[in-house]
Homo-oligomer: A and B are copies of this chain.
Amino acid sequence: MAVTFDIKTKCKQTQARTGCVHTPHGDIQTPVFMPVGTQATVKAMTPRQVEDAGSEIILANTYHLYLRPGHDLVKEAGGLHKFMAWDKPILTDSGGFQVFSLGALRKITEHGVKFSSHLDGSKHMLTPEKAIEIEQALGADIIMAFDECTEYPAEYERVVLAMERTHRWAQRCKDAKTRKDQALFGIVQGGCFADLRVQSAKAIADMDFPGNAIGGLSVGEPKKKMNDMLEVTVPHLPETKPRYLMGVGSLDCIIDGIARGVDMFDCVLQTRIARNGTALTKQGKLVVRNAKYARDFSPIDSECTCYTCQNFTRAYLRHLIKTNEMLASTLISIHNVQITIDFVKEIRQSIELGTFLQYKNEFFANYRV
C-alpha cells in the first residue's frame, strides 16, 4: 500500500480527529491544508517558500499538466516531484472537475469526456483510463479517480446519472491503475441530495480505496448545504481511511469540515486572493490594497510568524500592489498559505488537547465572512 493512515486522537464532541497519512515522500499530519500548484508551481512561490510556510503536501492539476507541458515530458523529467523540485508528497486531481468547468467546451459520454482545450481549442478526450495514465506519468503520491461533477443547482435525475457514472468510472480507474507506489482515492458525488450522497458514499466506500474524497461541493451551493452534505456523507466513509473535501477552502469551511470528520483540504483561494491584494486572517479577509492601509505600518497579522508578517508592513505591501510589483503576490501568498496551515495546526493541537469545540466557538466569535 502506497499510502497508509493512522488515527491519533478523536474529538469527543465532534467528528474531528487527528492522524497521519504515510506516503512514499513523507508523512502528512492531518487535518491538513494542501496548497494548490496547478501548473507544477504554487503560484508566485518557490518550493522553498511553500515548504517554509509549513506545507507538507501540495496538489497539482492533471488537466493543466496534460495540456502543458504534457505528462510525457514530466515523466521524462523524472516525474512531477523532480520536475518542480518538491520532494514532499503530491496529490494530483484527475482533471474531472476541470473538464466539468469547461461547460459548453465539453461533451460527456459513458466512455469519457471530449473537450476543447481552453488554450487553443484543440480536441482532447479524457477517460478514466487516460486520467490514470496521465496521473501515473506525473507520479504523485496520491492520485484521484476520474469523476463527473455536477453544477449547483442540478436536477435530481441528472445528479443520479453523474453519480452512477462516477461509480463506474471509479472502478475503471481502479482497474487501470498499475503503479504500486501511488494511492488512488475514490470520489463521492451526489450533488446536494442527501440520499444520493449516502448512496455514493456507500458505493465508493465499498470499493475499498486507501482514501476517499468528497467532490462536487463548494460549486456554488450555500455553505449550510455543504455542511449538511458532509454530515450525511462522512458517516458512510470508513473511519480508518483519510477523508478529503475537494476544493475547500476558506478558514471557516475548513474548521466546519474538520468538525464533520474531514482530514484533507485543498484550495486555490489562498494564492488567488493574494494576487488580488487580499490577505487572510483569523478575523476574516483583509484587503491590503485599500487606501486605509497606506500608512499602516503594522504587519497583516501581528501574531503571524510567516516571513511576510515578520518583515513587511501593510503600507509596504499596499505600495507593492499599487505599483504592480510581483513581490506583492509572493508575499501575500506566503502569508495566506502559512496562516491557513498554522490555523489547521492549531486545530490539530486543540483536538489533541480536547479543546477543539472551544477553539471552534472562539474562532467563529471573531470571524467575519
Contact = CB atoms under 8 A, between A and B. Distances in A.
A40 B312 CA distance: 12
Given A77-B297, A77-B315, A327-B43, A322 B85 contact: no
A295 B325 contact: no
A313 interface: yes
A323 B77 contact: no
Contact of A69 (B48, B77, B322): B322
Contacts of A323: 39, 64, 68
Contacts of A125: none
A47 interface: yes
Nearest to A69: B319
A315 B84 CA distance: 10
Contacts of A326: 43-44, 326, 329-330
A137 to B, nearest CB: 14
A260 to B, nearest CB: 35
Contact of A73 (B39, B43, B294): B294
Of A49, A68, A319, chain B has the most CB atoms within 10 Å of the CB of A319
Which range holds the interface residue count of chain A? 35 or more
Interface in A3-62: 39-41, 43-49
Contact of A85 (B39, B47, B83, B311): B311
A17 to B, nearest CB: 35
A319 B39 contact: yes
Nearest to A44: B326
A195 interface: no
Given A73-B295, A77-B315, A323-B39, A46 B85 contact: no
A45 to B, nearest CB: 7
Given A68-B323, A77-B313, 4 more contacts: A46-B49, A64-B323, A76-B295, A85-B316
A320 B77 contact: no
B44 A319 contact: no
A46 B307 contact: yes
A331 interface: yes
Contacts of A315: 69, 73, 77, 83
A87 to B, nearest CB: 10
Given A39-B325, A41-B325, A330-B326, A85 B319 contact: no
16 contacts: A39-B320, A40-B316, A44-B327, A44-B330, A46-B331, A64-B323, A68-B319, A68-B322, A68-B323, A69-B315, A73-B319, A78-B297, A83-B313, A85-B316, A326-B329, A330-B330
B319 A48 contact: no
A367 B49 CA distance: 34
Contacts of A77: 297, 313, 315-316
A78 B313 CA distance: 11
Interface string A314-348: 01101110110111011100000000000000000
